[in-house]
Structure 1
Amino acid sequence: MSLELTNQLLWPFKSLPDEYVVVDTESTGLFDSGGAPGMVSVGLVLVCKGKIKKSEEFFVRPHRPMTDEASKINGITQKQAEHHPAFCEQWPKILPWIKGRLLACHNASFDWLLIVDHIARYNAVAARPAGVFCCQRAAQPWAQAKEIPCSTRGPSLDKLSEYLGLENLRHAQANKHGALVDAKQTANVIIRLQQF
């Protein structure tokens, strides 16, 4: 693939501001007929000029019970989740991270919608980010050109990391999908794609 075509396909990454926050969430399951799943954690990574500046994870007590499948994925049990602080306690700590900044999520159609649901559900202060960037969707044309396997949403975080030769941070977590480890992995992918 020519440099010109690479630049064209990766322009969304190359157009990102010098500072943005990568966000990932873990939940009790998926959106279903009962509405949004419960949030169990939020991982936040501040990226400045292509480097991770700081990161933090906030655990949240969910409003719905943890499904067995979700617990296997994120390693959080229902009993553990019941002892997390309420969303209303954690939101004032999360808000300064995201207010006025561009938010980047690997799968924004899940993570951002879950955050929006919880803001409305608990009548919390609006987030007002500068915008929301979906890494998975933005990477899809480039990934398809590189023949990286993609779902209908785009390439998975694991497939992108593998192709880019990035360390899979989940391996140190027994392959669990933690919000902070996934936010860091997403940040590493975005930073690497910005460098092409």
Structure 2
Amino acid sequence: MYKELLWIFTQLPDDYIVLDTETTGLPDENGPPDIVTLGITVVRNRKIAESVEFKTRPQKRISEEAQRIHGITNEQAAEFAAFDSQWNPIADYLKDQLIVIHNASFDWPILLDHVARYGLSMPPVQGVFCSQKAAIPWAQATDLSCSHRGPSLDALTKALGIEDLRSKINGIHGAEIDSQQAAQVAEVMRSNGNKLR
């Protein structure tokens, strides 16, 4: 129902990457939070081809709320490698790709902040597609719970009848697993939108 509102998903290229981050918390008076894990799922020919997670040592402390969400403690994160030491392989994944992010207005500015903070260079990308914002018209038309940012990944996963990958790890958020979940959601939305044709 309302498949015409999924038109924007049918415009995704066959190959793209999905990016997700887990962080030290939310932006505050001290600026953006730090990245603790960064997950990338590679979609090739509309199928998940690969996924990877980079664990990066934050400079800021992880809030208690963030620890409850992703399960990573400050002690664990202190053992991770620095963000800048892992940037080259991350940048290789991003280069010349369309980057799909569920809640791009959160993750993308944080990534750009890290690139600037460490004096790194962002590779050329095709663009950034926010799957959360793109899903708003369909979610509103189908009475799916929706914040001002759009429907959550959990809400879309349930509404679309997609396997909940987080349920296998007690509902813990992870950058890699969430990027996989977002890729599955995007492809089901694309498939449903294409059924109009």
Query: Scaled by the length of structure 2, what TM-score is found?
Result: 0.95
Question: How far does the alpha carbon of each residue in 1:48-104 deviate from its partner, in whole angstroms, 9 at most, with x for none?
Answer: 122001110000001100100000100000001111100111111101101110000
2:170 corresponds, among 147, 155, 174, to 174
Matched, 1:107 2:120: no
State the secondary structure of the residue aligned to 2:53. strand
Matches within 5 A, 1:4-153: 5-7=2-4, 9-153=5-149
Give the CA deviation at 1:159: 0.4
d(CA) in 2 for partners of 1:48 and 1:146? 30
Q: Number of paired residues?
A: 192
d(CA) in 1 for partners of 2:141 and 2:124? 34
Gap runs ≥5 in structure 2: 193-197
d(CA) in 2 for partners of 1:64 and 1:19? 35
2:155 corresponds, among 146, 156, 159, to 159
Q: Percent identity?
A: 46
2:189 corresponds, among 168, 190, 193, to 193
Gap runs ≥5 in structure 1: none
What is the alpha-carbon root mean square deviation over aligned residues?
0.8
Match of 1:183 in 2: 179
- The AA in structure 1 aligned to 2:68 is K
- The AA in structure 2 aligned to 1:38 is D
d(CA) in 1 for partners of 2:7 and 2:115? 31
State the secondary structure of the residue aligned to 2:81. coil
